[in-house]
Homo-oligomer: A and B are copies of this chain.
């Protein structure tokens, strides 16, 4: 397990001067060889490379940062209080982390709440990070102003109400809505429910819920099916309540699309207790539910959502380009298509009238 670059303990950490001496060049030449800021002859470059390898040289991050004002560290602003834990956010972060490492960047995890703006301002002004990835973006996002004021480069995962020229990567919720509605309509469902989040969350709110609901209504209209949209508290009881409300609002509903991970189990349980088998009598599709959660439900959940890791990667690349001053003309903004993963919770609409067993 001994690497070629292992050093005996007791050796001091080699500096650029050590490398320069060993390669028989000046320290500045070593530096230029690393940054590529000016041309170096092939021969010296190779000697330097070899010397670095021999010594197991790693540039000192602090010395570099002190002079260059670049840390090669990106902050991931992931307010923990926003939606509770959720696996989807983790997938973004892993996608971002992977790509950051490939590009020679580190990720600093910042979990302060979205309201703790002074903390954030402190981070931004400290110069520790070169840029930030903004997660859990709300329609009216107070962090944006803080980041702008401190002139920290950032990219959003999600959008504000009016992103203007801000960089972002987001899900194409219109397309997701269409995909989910079409999936169900194709299987004969004519009356759908859409269960999203509670009114306060939506209003407050991260933009997704609103954009998705609008997309749903539009898609239903285009496809020619009825759609009842319901708000719903993000817990099991909320899901039960939503099912009851759907039943009242549209007794003919044979399927529901949910954008509320926490409420789905309650929704399903209520359907089963009502005497409806899933998917034979009633289909359920979830928007943007991570695979791992989709496999926890019984039956496993059909989902529509983007590949979160790919979005995390894209956002990171966008941010790094911005940091490194490339691609400066105009904002970079990208929408990611969702994919349908058909699992066991959705199927053909019940052909005959369902037997409704009131327990």
Interface residues of A (CB under 8 A from B): 1, 3, 5-6, 9, 13, 56, 58-66, 71, 73, 76, 80, 84-87, 90-91, 93-94, 97-98, 101, 106-112, 117-119, 121-122, 125-128, 142, 145-146, 149, 151, 235-236, 261-262, 264-265, 268-269, 272, 290, 292-293, 295-300
Bound together, the chains give a CA A298 to CA B265 distance in angstroms of 7
Bound together, the chains give a CA A84 to CA B296 distance in angstroms of 14
Inter-chain contact B106/A107, CB cutoff 8 Å: no
Chain B residue, CB-CB nearest to A90: B85
Inter-chain contact B295/A298, CB cutoff 8 Å: no
Q: Which residues from B are CB-within-8-Å of A61?
A: 62, 65, 71, 126-128
Inter-chain contact B66/A118, CB cutoff 8 Å: no
* A90-B85, A108-B107 known; A126 vs B58 contact (CB < 8 Å): yes
Q: Which residues from B are CB-within-8-Å of A111?
A: 93-94, 97-98, 101, 107
What is the count of identical protomers in the complex? 2
Q: Which residues from B are CB-within-8-Å of A94?
A: 80, 85, 111
Chain B residue, CB-CB nearest to A98: B111
Bound together, the chains give a CA A245 to CA B83 distance in angstroms of 39
Inter-chain contact B66/A63, CB cutoff 8 Å: yes
The minimal Cβ–Cβ distance linking A46 to chain B, given in whole angstroms, is 21
A265 in complex: contacting residue of B62, B118, B127, B296, CB < 8 Å:
B296
A297 in complex: contacting residue of B87, B101, B107, B265, CB < 8 Å:
B265
Inter-chain contact B125/A101, CB cutoff 8 Å: no
Bound together, the chains give a CA A268 to CA B112 distance in angstroms of 38
Q: Which residues from B are CB-within-8-Å of A300?
A: 236, 265
A296 in complex: contacting residue of B142, B151, B296, B299, CB < 8 Å:
B296
Q: Which residues from B are CB-within-8-Å of A76?
A: 109
The minimal Cβ–Cβ distance linking A322 to chain B, given in whole angstroms, is 19
A97 in complex: contacting residue of B80, B290, B293, CB < 8 Å:
B80
Q: Which residues from B are CB-within-8-Å of A269?
A: 298-299
The minimal Cβ–Cβ distance linking A269 to chain B, given in whole angstroms, is 5
Q: Which residues from B are CB-within-8-Å of A13?
A: 125, 127
Q: Which residues from B are CB-within-8-Å of A272?
A: 298
Inter-chain contact A101/B127, CB cutoff 8 Å: no
Q: Which residues from B are CB-within-8-Å of A65?
A: 61-62, 65
Q: Which residues from B are CB-within-8-Å of A142?
A: 1
The minimal Cβ–Cβ distance linking A52 to chain B, given in whole angstroms, is 12
* A62-B62, A298-B268 known; A109 vs B125 contact (CB < 8 Å): no
Inter-chain contact B84/A292, CB cutoff 8 Å: yes
Bound together, the chains give a CA A101 to CA B93 distance in angstroms of 20
Q: Which residues from B are CB-within-8-Å of A91?
A: 85
Bound together, the chains give a CA A108 to CA B62 distance in angstroms of 15
Inter-chain contact A62/B71, CB cutoff 8 Å: yes
